[in-house]
């Protein structure tokens, strides 16, 4: 109905040109590496690129990468859906604690999980180890949306099914499960994306996938076309996944019909299965959280006599903090206009800018880093292997994190406040400064903290772009682990987790 | 003191469907006009065009002779001197009450700002509330602060967008009266958008009834209520009794007897409109049977089935009805009716 649209936010308002220009710059920066990667791969003609891309080796990498993704996604679906059902819909003792434990692995970088497993059992190297480590860090991507979907289900629907003569199992299959499918599918696709983009776990487990092959190709030869061609294949795969994920999200419109808020569903009683359920939850928590931390503790104490280098550790921590802080600052500054436009102006331009800013979400870190290397070597040699290039790369990679946070923060306050400020004599830019940004500030700060954490944990792009002689905690951890110096790696992992825990803790407290 | 003149205003979202379809409205300086209409009639669109949040596709908006919207002219909202009081107040949650009221007072000294803020808070009956935060106020207080905030920069026009909707009915009358008084005290012209007939009739100096993007009728509350221009307006602004009639010698012959006609009497027949309070139950009059009694506290509505009418007629009775369904009753008519083509 047109009359409803008239009262909708931002209808008919034109964004300030400065805001649009600023957002365009951010979007262009986000798209630049992708475009350049394509140009570079096609530099010696499509035939050359085709010859390099379509080989037995590429096919082999495709099979290995997809095989790993399929196995990890399947395992994550089993763990994620079962834990979600147990913690949300059953009378599991300590359900709240289990639900917190189930999300904690999100904070464990894949290379730390891989470090923990391979340092305990070197025989895990290869497919099994990579699948194990990746499953244990990425199942929360399934757990979280499925648990949210279960919580959001209206129990009245299940009650209606029961009253219409369906037993509990049939009700679950015909009413509950179909409504969980979009959440589970979306989560599964995120896991697949995570696996395809992962570099840390597969390289530590010495399992050859696209990301590892790209890194090797880049290091091995001066001809960068093979790396670029492999990068393009990987980008095509991930873009297909993102497209599929967006489609499942678009169709996930399983809302409740009718108004009012849903009641909480009654919890299913587990009976004698309670012990089996507790055992399963404990096993997942032990493998995903307790084991990595325990291993870290073991290597910290075991390595006491050996490779403690406090000076170097301090220096590395300082360098990590500096580049991560700069990355978070630049990313937040670039995300601000895109997030505001996305929240307040639903025109085609705003939509395109937002989509462009999300490019980093679809492209694995290693390919963005590769593109930045190409660009810098040719057009900006002075910043090649200098901190600014690394910081720019962080901005491209993590713009989606900051844009999503900014957009959500701006959406928190009703647009009518901005209308009122305009009617009281403020220009659009003054409204931004006096109303929009101050109101969104807590959410924007939370996004900046989150960006800081992901910058700090970033591995593949940092490996390619770090200034000569500079290490971050992640690259040191990776370097020591790949040479099996586990005791030397442990302090870096410990400091990384400690520093990352501070913003995570603050974010968690804010949400509570 | 500034008058508002709106001429031929057109706005389409999905051409060719027009939400505003050549709307004309004039509000003399210092008066409060209510724009009354059902949902979807274009009220909110009108308000947003006048405020400058939406661009009109055609037509003009003039404030005291100043064209703020017209062919080739679109003054941005911040330069129109038009204050708005949104639904539920929409106070800035990060600012204190005083800072909210002072928000539009830029370009003045600190002492003057403080003086004006205090003056405005006093005007809306909240002196000494400047240090509070919006969430510490009740809904009615928030709405008063929103009015003070809109009036503080002395705007030429104040737009009120269903401002009393969120208040419970006990509070509403008090806040409405205070807002009315504050507007009068500052001399600002006002435009109140509402779908509530009671609110429009009791609060405004002028009522403009909107239908399909045009003003169907504009007049004083009494005119709109007593002399509706057509059957739709009659039914929309209040309870109405419709009677088929033939005109003879300037009076209407109806199943309830002869009724004098108001205004010009066009045609030889049609439908006459009466208000339920013009009907009286008594010993004399047209006989009928009571079919329903609805008690509202201050009055009651008695529905009486009368021979020759398809629908029962509604009779408003002060206090308790004194009759029960099934009983016999006689209905007579007082005052004049308006005649409309069928």
Per-residue model confidence as pLDDT tens digits over A482-505: 888 888 888 899 898 888 878 777
Q: Find out whether B282 and B330 touch, Cβ atoms under 8 Å.
A: yes
Is B77 in the A-facing interface, judged by CB distances under 8 Å? yes
Query: What's the CA dihedral at B34, B37, B42, B44 to 10 degrees?
Result: 50
Q: Which residues of A401-440 are buried (b: 16+ CB within 10 A; e: fewer)?
A: bbbbbbbbbbbebbbbbbbbbbbbbbebeebbebbbbebb
| Chain B environment of A2 (Cβ under 8 Å) | 13-14, 17, 19, 40, 45
Instruction: Give yes or no for residue A302 having a pLDDT over 90.
Output: no
Q: Which is more confident, A303 or A432? A: A432
User: Cβ A423–B45 below 8 Å, yes or no?
Assistant: no
Distance, in Å, from the CA atom of A209 to the CA atom of A89, rounded to the nearest integer, reads 38
Considering only CB atoms, B82 lies closest to which of A11, A423, A428, namely A423
Give the closest-approach CA distance of A398 to chain B in angstroms: 29
Give the tokens for residue A60: 């082999």
Who contacts B126 (Cβ-Cβ below 8 Å, separation ≥6)? B97, B141, B144, B145, B148
Give the closest-approach CA distance of B79 to chain A in angstroms: 6
**Residue of chain A with shortest Cα separation from B153:** A424
Is B117 in the A-facing interface, judged by CB distances under 8 Å? no
**Residue of chain B with shortest Cα separation from A440:** B94
Distance, in Å, from the CA atom of B301 to the CA atom of B317, rounded to the nearest integer, reads 6
Q: A163 falls in which pLDDT band (50, 70, 90)?
A: confident
Distance, in Å, from the CA atom of A373 to the CA atom of A112, rounded to the nearest integer, reads 26
Classify domain B239-340 at the CATH topology level. Answer: OB fold (Dihydrolipoamide Acetyltransferase, E2P) (2.40.50)
Q: Find out whether A342 and A411 touch, Cβ atoms under 8 Å.
A: no
Residues of chain B with pLDDT under 70: 264-267
Q: What is the pLDDT of residue A476?
A: 92
| A478 domain residue, yes or no | yes
The number of residues making up chain A comes to: 512
Give the closest-approach CA distance of A407 to chain B in angstroms: 19
Who contacts A236 (Cβ-Cβ below 8 Å, separation ≥6)? none
| Chain B environment of A436 (Cβ under 8 Å) | none
Domain residue ranges in chain B: 4-226, 239-340
User: Cβ B80–A12 below 8 Å, yes or no?
Assistant: no
Q: Find out whether A232 and A38 touch, Cβ atoms under 8 Å.
A: yes
Give the tokens for residue A444: 């924007």
Environment class of A101 (CB within 10 Å of its CB; exposed 0-12, middle 13-18, buried 19+): buried
Q: Is the pTM of this model over 0.90?
A: no
Residues A233 and A337 in one domain: no
Range scoring the smallest mean pLDDT among A41-45, A72-76, A131-135, A337-341: A41-45
Give the closest-approach CA distance of A424 to chain B in angstroms: 5
Distance, in Å, from the CA atom of A274 to the CA atom of A84, rounded to the nearest integer, reads 15
Distance, in Å, from the CA atom of B234 to the CA atom of B211, rounded to the nearest integer, reads 13
* pLDDT tens-digit series, residues A196-243: 999 999 999 999 999 999 888 888 877 777 788 888 888 888 888 878
User: Cβ A3–B42 below 8 Å, yes or no?
Assistant: yes
Q: Which is more confident, B308 or A390? A: A390
When the pLDDT of each residue in chain A is averaged and rounded to a whole number, the result is: 84
Q: What is the pLDDT of residue A304?
A: 58
| Chain A environment of B78 (Cβ under 8 Å) | 422-427
User: Cβ B45–A421 below 8 Å, yes or no?
Assistant: no
3-state secondary structure of A9: coil
B23: nearest Cα among B177, B232, B215, B195? B215
| Chain A environment of B149 (Cβ under 8 Å) | 420, 424
Q: Give me the mean pLDDT over the A100-128 stretch.
A: 89
Q: What is the pLDDT of residue A264?
A: 58
Among A234, A252, A270, the domain boundary falls at: A252
Is B52 in the A-facing interface, judged by CB distances under 8 Å? yes
User: Cβ B53–A427 below 8 Å, yes or no?
Assistant: no
Q: Which is more confident, A63 or A508? A: A63
| Rounded (5°) CA angle A40-A41-A46 | 120
| A168 domain residue, yes or no | yes
If you search the block for the tokens 């909110």, which residue do you land on? B44
Q: Find out whether B34 and B207 touch, Cβ atoms under 8 Å.
A: yes
User: Cβ B77–A423 below 8 Å, yes or no?
Assistant: yes
User: Cβ B94–A417 below 8 Å, yes or no?
Assistant: no
Give the tokens for residue A380: 């900006």
**Residue of chain A with shortest Cα separation from B41:** A3
* pLDDT tens-digit series, residues A393-409: 999 999 988 998 898 88
| A71 domain residue, yes or no | yes
For chain B, the first-to-last Cα distance in angstroms comes to: 43
CATH number at residue A207: 1.10.3720.10
| A295 domain residue, yes or no | no
Q: What is the pLDDT of residue A13?
A: 60
Distance, in Å, from the CA atom of A421 to the CA atom of A411, rounded to the nearest integer, reads 17
Who contacts A505 (Cβ-Cβ below 8 Å, separation ≥6)? none
Distance, in Å, from the CA atom of A364 to the CA atom of A373, rounded to the nearest integer, reads 15
| A3 domain residue, yes or no | no
Q: Give me the mean pLDDT over the A350-359 stretch.
A: 82
Q: A315 falls in which pLDDT band (50, 70, 90)?
A: very high
Q: What is the pLDDT of residue A250?
A: 54
Tell me how many domains chain A contains: 2
| Rounded (5°) CA angle B76-B78-B82 | 100
Size of interface A-B (CB pairs under 8 A): 95
| A297 domain residue, yes or no | no
Distance, in Å, from the CA atom of A13 to the CA atom of B135, rounded to the nearest integer, reads 29
Residues A470 and A330 in one domain: yes
Give the closest-approach CA distance of A404 to chain B in angstroms: 22
> What is the Cα A426 distance to its own chain's centre?
38
Residues A174 and A321 in one domain: no
Q: What is the pLDDT of residue A391?
A: 95
Is B53 in the A-facing interface, judged by CB distances under 8 Å? yes
Q: What is the DSSP letter of A8?
A: S
Is B108 in the A-facing interface, judged by CB distances under 8 Å? no
Instruction: Give yes or no for residue A137 having a pLDDT over 60.
Output: yes
B149: nearest Cα among B78, B84, B52, B77? B84
Is A429 in the B-facing interface, judged by CB distances under 8 Å? no
For chain A, give the percent of residues with pLDDT over 70: 91
Is A13 in the B-facing interface, judged by CB distances under 8 Å? yes
Q: What is the pLDDT of residue A508?
A: 62
* pLDDT tens-digit series, residues A79-92: 999 999 898 888 88
> What is the Cα A410 distance to its own chain's centre?
21
Q: Find out whether A105 and A135 touch, Cβ atoms under 8 Å.
A: no
Give the tokens for residue A13: 């308002």
Distance, in Å, from the CA atom of A401 to the CA atom of A234, rounded to the nearest integer, reads 21
Q: Find out whether A97 and A187 touch, Cβ atoms under 8 Å.
A: no
Distance, in Å, from the CA atom of A332 to the CA atom of A309, rounded to the nearest integer, reads 34
Is B19 in the A-facing interface, judged by CB distances under 8 Å? yes
Q: Give me the mean pLDDT over the A254-261 stretch.
A: 42
Q: What is the pLDDT of residue B205?
A: 94
Give the tokens for residue A408: 């959500």
Give the tokens for residue A87: 């913690």
Domain range enclosing A400? 303-363+371-512
Three-state secondary structure string covering chain B: CCCEEEEEEEEECCCCCEEEEEEEEEECCCCEEEEECCCCCCHHHHHHHHHCCCCCCEEEEEECCEEEEECCEECCHHHCCEEEECCCCCCCCCCCHHHHHCCCCCCCCHHHHHHHHHHHHHHCCCCCCCCCCHHHCCHHHHHHHHHHHHHCCCCCEEEEECCCCCCCHHHHHHHHHHHHHHHHHHCCEEEEEECCHHHHHHHCCEEEEEECCEEEEEECHHHHHHCCCCHHHHHHHCCCEEEEEEEECCEEEECCEEEEECCCCCCCEEEEEECHHHEEEECCCEEEEEEEEEECCCEEEEEEEECCCCCCEEEEEECCCCCCCCCEEEEEECCCEEEECC
Is A437 in the B-facing interface, judged by CB distances under 8 Å? no
Residues A179 and A311 in one domain: no
How many other CB atoms are found less than 10 A from the CB of residue B182?
A: 20
Q: What is the pLDDT of residue A344?
A: 86
Mutation pick from B50, B56, B92 vs chain A, by most beta carbons of A within 10 Å, is B92
Q: What is the pLDDT of residue B111?
A: 93
**Residue of chain B with shortest Cα separation from A429:** B78
CATH of domain B4-226: 3.40.50.300
Is B282 in the A-facing interface, judged by CB distances under 8 Å? no
| A230 domain residue, yes or no | yes
């Amino acid at each position: 109905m047109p009359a409803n649209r008239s009262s909708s936010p931002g209808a008919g308002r034109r964004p300030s040109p400065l805001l649009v220009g600023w957002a365009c710059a951010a979007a262009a920066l986000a798209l630049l590496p992708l475009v350049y990667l394509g140009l570079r791969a096609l530099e010696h003609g499509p035939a050359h690129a085709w010859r390099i891309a379509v080989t037995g080796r590429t096919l082999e990498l495709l099979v290995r990468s997809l095989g790993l993704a399929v196995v990890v996604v399947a395992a994550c679906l089993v763990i994620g859906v079962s834990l979600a059902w147990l913690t949300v819909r059953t009378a599991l003792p300590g359900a709240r604690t289990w639900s917190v434990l189930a999300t904690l692995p999100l904070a464990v970088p894949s290379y730390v999980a891989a470090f923990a497993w391979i340092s305990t059992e070197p025989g895990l190297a290869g497919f099994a180890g990579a699948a194990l480590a990746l499953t244990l860090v990425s199942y929360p991507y399934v757990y979280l949306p499925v648990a949210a979907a279960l919580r959001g289900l209206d129990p009245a629907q299940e009650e209606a099914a029961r009253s219409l003569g369906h037993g509990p199992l049939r009700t679950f299959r015909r009413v509950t499960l179909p409504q969980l499918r979009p959440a589970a599918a979306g989560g599964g696709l995120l896991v697949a994306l995570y696996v395809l983009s992962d570099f840390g776990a597969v390289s530590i487990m010495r399992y050859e996938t696209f990301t590892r092959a790209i890194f090797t190709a880049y290091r091995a030869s001066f001809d960068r076309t093979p790396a670029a061609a492999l990068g393009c294949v990987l980008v095509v795969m991930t873009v297909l996944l993102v497209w599929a994920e967006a489609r499942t999200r678009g169709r996930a419109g399983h809302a409740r019909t009718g108004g009012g808020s849903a009641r909480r569903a009654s919890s299913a009683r587990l009976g004698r299965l309670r012990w089996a359920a507790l055992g399963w939850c404990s096993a997942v928590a032990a493998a995903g959280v307790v084991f990595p931390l325990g291993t870290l503790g073991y290597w910290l104490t075991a390595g006491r006599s050996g490779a403690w280098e406090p000076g170097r550790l301090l220096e590395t921590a300082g360098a990590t903090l500096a580049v991560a802080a700069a990355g978070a600052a630049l990313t937040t500054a670039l995300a601000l206009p895109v997030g505001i436009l996305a929240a307040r102006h639903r025109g085609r331009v705003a939509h395109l800018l937002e989509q462009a800013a999300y490019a980093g979400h679809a492209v694995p870190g290693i390919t963005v880093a590769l593109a930045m290397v190409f660009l810098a070597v040719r057009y900006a040699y002075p910043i090649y292997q200098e901190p600014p290039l690394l910081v720019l790369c962080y901005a491209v990679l993590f713009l989606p994190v900051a844009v999503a946070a900014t957009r959500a923060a701006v959406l928190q306050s009703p647009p009518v406040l901005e209308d009122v400020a305009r009617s009281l004599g403020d220009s659009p830019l003054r409204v931004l400064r006096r109303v929009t940004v101050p109101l969104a500030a807590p959410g924007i700060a939370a996004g900046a903290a989150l960006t800081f954490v992901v910058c700090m944990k970033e591995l593949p792009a940092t490996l390619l772009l770090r200034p000569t002689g500079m290490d971050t905690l992640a690259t040191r951890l990776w370097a020591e682990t790949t040479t099996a110096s586990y005791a030397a790696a442990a302090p870096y992992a410990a400091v990384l987790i400690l520093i990352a825990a501070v913003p995570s803790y603050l974010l968690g407290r804010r949400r509570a | 003191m500034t008058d508002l003149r709106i001429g031929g205003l057109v706005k389409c979202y999905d051409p060719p469907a027009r939400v505003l379809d050549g709307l004309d409205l004039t509000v003399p300086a210092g008066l409060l006009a209510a724009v009354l209409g059902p949902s979807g009639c274009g009220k909110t669109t009108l308000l947003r065009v006048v405020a400058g949040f939406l661009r009109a596709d055609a037509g003009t908006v003039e404030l005291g002779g100043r064209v703020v919207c017209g062919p080739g002219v679109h003054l941005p909202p911040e330069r129109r001197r038009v204050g708005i009081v949104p639904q539920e107040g929409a106070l800035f949650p990060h600012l204190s009450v005083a800072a909210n009221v002072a928000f539009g007072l830029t370009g003045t000294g600190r002492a003057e700002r403080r003086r004006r803020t205090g003056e405005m808070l006093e005007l809306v009956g909240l002196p000494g509330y400047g240090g509070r935060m919006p969430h510490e106020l009740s809904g009615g207080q928030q709405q008063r602060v929103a009015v003070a905030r809109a009036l503080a920069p002395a705007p030429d026009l104040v737009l009120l967008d269903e401002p009393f909707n969120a208040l419970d009915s006990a509070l509403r009358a008090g806040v409405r009266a205070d807002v009315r008084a504050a507007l009068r005290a500052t001399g600002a012209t006002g435009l109140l958008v509402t779908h509530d007939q009671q609110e429009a009739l009791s609060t405004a100096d002028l009522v403009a009834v909107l239908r399909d993007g045009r003003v169907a009728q504009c007049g004083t509350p009494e005119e709109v209520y007593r002399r509706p221009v057509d059957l739709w307006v009659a039914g929309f602004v209040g309870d109405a009794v419709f009677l088929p009639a033939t005109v003879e010698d300037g009076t209407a012959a109806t199943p309830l007897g002869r009724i004098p006609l108001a205004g010009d009497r066009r045609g030889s027949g049609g439908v006459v409109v009466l208000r339920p309070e013009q009907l009286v139950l008594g010993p004399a009059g047209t006989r009928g049977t009571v079919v329903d009694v609805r008690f509202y506290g201050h009055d009651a509505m008695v529905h009486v089935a009368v021979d020759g009418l398809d629908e029962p007629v509604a009779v408003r009775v002060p206090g308790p009805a004194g009759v029960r369904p099934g009983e016999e009753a006689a209905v007579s008519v007082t005052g004049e009716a308006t005649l409309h083509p069928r």
